Amino acid sequence: MLKQRIITALVLLPLVLGAIFYLPTQWFALAMMLPVAVAAWEWANIMGITSQARRCSYAALVVVGMLLEYWLQTDWVLGLAVIWWAVAVSLVRAYPNNVSRWASPYIQGGIGLLLLLPAWQGLVVLHRQDGGPWWMLYAFVLVWGADTGAYFAGRAFGKRKLAPNVSPGKTIEGLLGGLALTLVIALLVATQTDALKNLGLGWFLLVSLVAVVGSVFGDLAESMFKRHRGIKDSSQVLPGHGGVLDRIDSITAAVPLFAAGMLVLGVFH
């Protein structure tokens, strides 16, 4: 399993970094449609759809949505992500008491659109900025930093469960550890780069930490839906890693939240 994970990571990492740093935004947007379409196909499975034709149809619907986003320049969909992730926090915390509210495949289908379409739009918004690839890398580092800080803080100090019915291993102390590490990362970026050229330190830290909290609940939300479906991984398309959704669940929340905050503050265009 470990060997498979390493090989898959070694294949994917240069492809992802190459797309981020060397493709113009229009081609980057097109390239990112592929993993998002695969994630939509996986989400259809989480919805309980077993027919391959229907799963592919749902993926096609998401592709059409991305094309419309690009054509119409619908940055406002990031606002829908802000609303959804605010709701998702309460759903995760209340699970399983609220399952009846979202168990319908039709409702879960709508949730999938709120997960995937703003995430793709967020990637496009980040990439089209001056220094866009570096903004995108910063958002990814926030996610990785949150995971790393949560892991070590949770192991050392974790006692109070964050969402015990969804992911018993995650703790409030782990969340605080993740926030602490990402705060250090944000401060380093703020003081050692020109990231604050058009933004105050307080706002930059606030947007960054909101994205980090979103990343944690992005992971928890997917875990909640998979637990309800009775599956461990969204698929097996990535050897050793499970599915695309299993790898980008945190990013689907962090990227649109970060992009939305920077747009609202007038830093992004």
Q: How many CB atoms lie within 10 A of CB 73?
A: 10
Q: Is 201 domain-assigned? A: yes
Domain assignment of residue 196, yes or no? yes
Whole-number pLDDT of residue 2? 55
103 domain residue, yes or no: yes
Is 240 a member of any domain?
yes
Structural domains in the chain (count): 1
Within a domain: residue 214? Answer: yes
Kindly report whether the peptide bond that precedes residue 96 is cis, defined as omega within 30 degrees of 0. yes
The pLDDT confidence band at residue 28, using thresholds 50, 70 and 90, is: very high
State the average pLDDT for the chain.
94
Check residue 6 and give its pLDDT: 76
Q: What is the pLDDT of residues 133-186, one digit of tens each?
A: 999 999 999 999 999 999 999 999 999 999 999 999 999 999 999 999 999 999
242 strand-pairing partners? 238
| pLDDT of 197 strictly over 90 | no
- Asked whether residue 269 is assigned to any structural domain, the reply reads no
The pLDDT of residue 7:
79
User: Is 80 part of a structural domain of the chain?
Assistant: yes
Distance of alpha carbon 178 from alpha carbon 140, whole angstroms: 14
pLDDT of residue 98: 87
With beta carbons less than 8 A apart as the criterion, state whether 141 and 185 touch.
yes
Burial class (CB in 10 A: 0-12, 13-18, 19+), 89: middle
Q: Is residue 242 part of a domain?
A: yes
pLDDT for 4 equals 78
Q: If you average pLDDT over residues 211-237, what whole number do you get?
A: 94
* pLDDT per position as a tens digit, 88-135: 999 999 999 989 999 999 999 999 999 999 999 999 999 999 999 999
Distance of alpha carbon 173 from alpha carbon 100, whole angstroms: 30
- Does pLDDT of 48 surpass 90? yes
Domain that holds residue 83: 2-264
